[in-house]
Structure 1
Amino acid sequence: MSTVIQHRGIRIVTLSANETVAEHCKEGDIVLVQDNSGWWTHFVGPNGETEGYDTAFESYDKALWTAKAAAEFSAE
């Protein structure tokens, strides 16, 4: 089940296995997704497209910290 936290008015959505951005996210959301490489941080655009960093983070905490930092920047 996905989880959502709000940080500075930005939704940070953590998706579970087999959940999709289209199902749970909207424009402006930051999405955390885990795969075999680690935790990925993606940013959702106006048409549901996502952009993210080139490498995965080794832990959920690092991905979440990065998402919160991005939310701080976006909120300014």
Structure 2
Amino acid sequence: MPSTIVHHTISIITLDAGEVMLDHCQDGDIALVQQDDGWWVNFIGEDGAVDGYETPFDSYNKALGTAKAAAEFAAE
């Protein structure tokens, strides 16, 4: 089951292994997804478009910190 943190009106959703982003996220959300190579920060856009950084973060805390910074920027 995904967990959600709301930071500056932006939902940051951490998905469990095997969960599909677009089943739990909507336009404007940020999704944190762990894969074998690290934690990926994904930005959900209109019509299910997904964008993100080119490389993963090596820890959940680094990915979450980046997502929070992005949420602050987006909320301005």
TM bucket normalised to smaller = over 0.9
> Does 2:45 correspond to 1:64?
no
CA RMSD of aligned residues (A): 0.5
Q: Is the 8 A contact 1:38 1:56 kept in 2?
A: yes
> 1:1-76, aligned counterparts within 5 Å?
1-76=1-76
Q: Residue 45 of structure 2 aligns to which amino acid in structure 1?
A: G
TM-score with structure 1 length normalisation? 0.98
Runs of at least 4 residues off by over 4 Å = none
TM-score with structure 2 length normalisation? 0.98
Number of equivalenced pairs: 76
Q: Residue 67 of structure 1 aligns to which amino acid in structure 2?
A: A
